[in-house]
Amino acid sequence: MKPATSGSCRPDPSPSSSSAPPPSRYESQKRRDWNTFLQYLRNHKPPLTLTRCSGVHVIEFLKYLDQFGKTKVHVTTCFFFGHSDPASPCACPHKQAWGSLDSLIGRLRAAYDEYGGRSDPNPFAARAVGVYLREVKDNQGKARGITYQKYRRKPTVRLDVD
């Protein structure tokens, strides 16, 4: 039995009362995102390995994900640009919401440190990625995309992958 050392505020690791900060849901989501990214690298043309991956490729990956997005982002020339509730359909593309991308990058940055990163700089922490995310946030804030998830639980997304 050792008394708590002064200066150290680390609590005793008691399994019952510890408020485990990282929930397992986050961990599994992180794992899934990481696998998605690795799969993206495997399918990349020309082939790309993790060690050769830079912020440019991370941005490419984020743009690639837009095709699965559910947030309508009006282009500046669209009649509904700036409206959150368009009265009729328009041809503007669906994209990933900024908030989703932002938290995705957070998870991938952590995953890279855990699973992949050697001594290389973390591509998910690259300055270009931060700049890109800020642009997305800015654009989506202006366009006021609406989330179609609200209306339809299962959007009919066709994936012609093979």
Contact flag: residue 139 with Zn ion (CB under 5 A)? no
Residue ranges in 17-76 that form contacts with Zn ion under rule CB under 5 A: 74
Smallest distance, Å, CB 98 to Zn ion?
Answer: 17
Contacting Zn ion (CB under 5 A), which of 53, 59, 62, 92?
A: 92
In angstroms, rounded to a whole number, what is the distance separating the alpha carbons of residues 96 and 70?
Answer: 6
Give whichever of 51 and 84 is closer to Zn ion, judged by the CB atom: 84
Chosen residue from 78, 102, 117, 125 binding Zn ion by CB under 5 A: 78
Q: Which is nearer to Zn ion, 48 or 90 (CB)?
A: 90
- Smallest separation (angstroms) from Zn ion to the CB of 80: 4
In sequence order, what are the residues at sequence separation of 6 or more whose Cβ sits closer than 8 angstroms to the Cβ of residue 151? none
- Short-list 57, 31, 29, 26, CA closest to 116: 31
Count of positions on this chain that bind Zn ion (CB under 5 A): 5
Between 92 and 108, CB nearer to Zn ion: 92
Buried b (16+ CB within 10 A) or exposed e, 80-107: bbeeeebeeeeebebbbbbebbeebbeb
Q: Does 80 bind Zn ion (CB under 5 A)?
A: yes
Q: Any alpha helices (H) in the chain, and if so which ranges?
A: 24-43, 55-65, 98-111, 127-143
Residues interacting with Zn ion, by CB under 5 A? 74, 78, 80, 90, 92
